[in-house]
């Protein structure tokens, strides 16, 4: 490689070090060994003949050359990502890989949805990214997001799939003679949910028996009889160990959304998968909003 050549990996490393302020943070982000990142940075600086970062106890601080390089890296990487999206948006083949992200509560439904689509289009392969954080579609962490939310995610091409109901559940094994009602609380990781706000408004802190940071943990604790839980109906109703003990709560409801980057909406794969998902959601409407 000539002294003036920069690979995309070089640019991504420089960008990551500048963004994290440390080599260790950059290595974690890029999922490479610290020693590998150290050697790569040394090779870049040796090849270019400039020092890009000053090492100190506080971390890695970009030099003037490093700031120039990191800004250029951000521009180039953004442009290559944009090019990839635009080329994929022009893809008219019904084949290839689709990366779909959804939260853990939708894993069972997502598998059903993807296998149904694959039966019609066997040349399409899926990668399921189960993640409760809303992965950024702008950076191509995924091609499509299927997520519950009260409001549609901004900056994306979205379609509303189905309203989602929430209710109170308890274990069928719970003895009705129990005097004190115990509840399962939702921790900081779930504090953004309307369900967490409802619990704060309606349940006294001393009645919280257990705090959890995922809805699967809330479901498991509820099934074990630890206490009552506020759960989305599509997730709780399939459990043969739970019973619904409230009406569908009107102030704790959300929507199921189909979201993709605007540049990908003309892709044949994305368009056909979106239309299939819309029809699938209609057929499963009772899962997301069950009869009272």
Residue 3 has pLDDT above 50, yes or no: no
Whether residue 79 contacts residue 122, with contact meaning beta carbons closer than 8 Å, is answered with no
User: What share of the chain in percent tops pLDDT 90?
Assistant: 57
Average pLDDT over residues 187-196: 90
Taking residues 109-117, what's their average pLDDT?
A: 95
Task: Report whether pLDDT(212) > 70.
Answer: yes
CA triple 34-139-154, angle to 5 deg: 135
Q: Which of 152 and 71 is assigned the larger pLDDT?
A: 71
pLDDT level of residue 1 (50, 70, 90 thresholds): very low
- The per-residue pLDDT for range 120-132, each reduced to its tens digit, is 888 899 999 888 7
pLDDT attached to residue 87: 65
Instruction: Match domain 8-89 to its CATH number in 3.40.1410.10, 3.40.190.10, 1.10.10.10, 3.40.50.300.
Output: 1.10.10.10
Name the architecture of domain 166-244. 3-Layer(aba) Sandwich (3.40)
Q: Per-residue b/e over 262-276, b at no fewer than 16 CB within 10 Å?
A: ebbeebbbbeebbeb
Domain layout of the chain by residue ranges: 8-89, 96-162+254-285, 166-244
More confident residue, 69 or 84: 69
For 239-273, give the DSSP string: -TTEEE-S---TTS-EEEEEEE-GGGTTSHHHHHH
Q: Is the dihedral of CA 122, 87, 100, 276 positive or negative?
A: negative
Q: What's the chain's average pLDDT? A: 88
The yes-or-no answer to whether 96-162+254-285 and 166-244 have a common fold is yes
Question: Could you give the CA distance from residue 1 to residue 7 in angstroms, rounded to a whole number?
Answer: 9
| pLDDT at 86 (0 to 100) | 64
The two structure tokens encoding residue 222: 């509820």
The 8-class DSSP code of residue 49 comes to T
Residue 280's pLDDT band, with cuts at 50, 70 and 90, is very high
Q: What is the mean pLDDT of residues 211-238?
A: 96
Q: What is 96-162+254-285's CATH superfamily?
A: Periplasmic binding protein-like II (3.40.190.10)
Question: Which of 43-52, 138-147, 283-292 comes out lowest in average pLDDT?
Answer: 138-147
């Amino acid at each position: 490689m000539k002294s003036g050549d920069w690979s995309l990996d070089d640019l991504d490393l420089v960008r990551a070090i500048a963004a994290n302020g440390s080599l260790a943070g950059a290595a974690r982000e890029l999922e490479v060994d610290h020693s590998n990142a150290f050697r790569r940075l040394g090779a870049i600086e040796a090849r270019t003949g400039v020092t890009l970062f000053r090492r100190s106890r506080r971390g890695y601080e970009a030099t003037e050359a490093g700031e120039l390089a990191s800004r250029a890296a951000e521009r180039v990487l953004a442009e290559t990502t944009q090019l990839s999206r635009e080329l994929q948006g022009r893809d008219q083949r019904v084949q290839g890989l689709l990366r779909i992200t959804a939260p853990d509560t939708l894993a069972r439904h997502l598998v059903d949805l993807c296998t149904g689509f694959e039966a019609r289009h066997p040349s399409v392969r899926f990668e399921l990214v189960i993640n409760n954080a809303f992965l950024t579609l702008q950076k191509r962490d995924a091609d499509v997001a299927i997520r519950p939310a009260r409001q549609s995610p901004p900056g994306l091409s979205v379609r509303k799939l189905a309203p989602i109901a929430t209710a109170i559940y308890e274990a069928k094994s719970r003895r009705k003679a129990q005097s004190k009602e115990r509840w399962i609380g939702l921790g900081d990781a779930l504090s953004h949910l309307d369900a967490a706000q409802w619990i704060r408004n309606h349940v006294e802190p001393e009645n919280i028996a257990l705090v959890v940071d995922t809805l699967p943990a809330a479901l498991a604790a509820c099934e074990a009889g630890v206490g009552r839980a506020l759960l989305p109906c599509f997730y709780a109703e399939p459990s043969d160990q739970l019973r619904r003990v409230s009406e569908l709560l009107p102030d704790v409801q959300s929507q199921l959304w189909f979201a993709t980057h605007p540049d990908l909406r003309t892709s044949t794969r994305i368009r056909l998968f979106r239309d299939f998902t819309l029809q699938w959601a209609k057929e499963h409407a009772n899962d997301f909003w069950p009869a009272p």
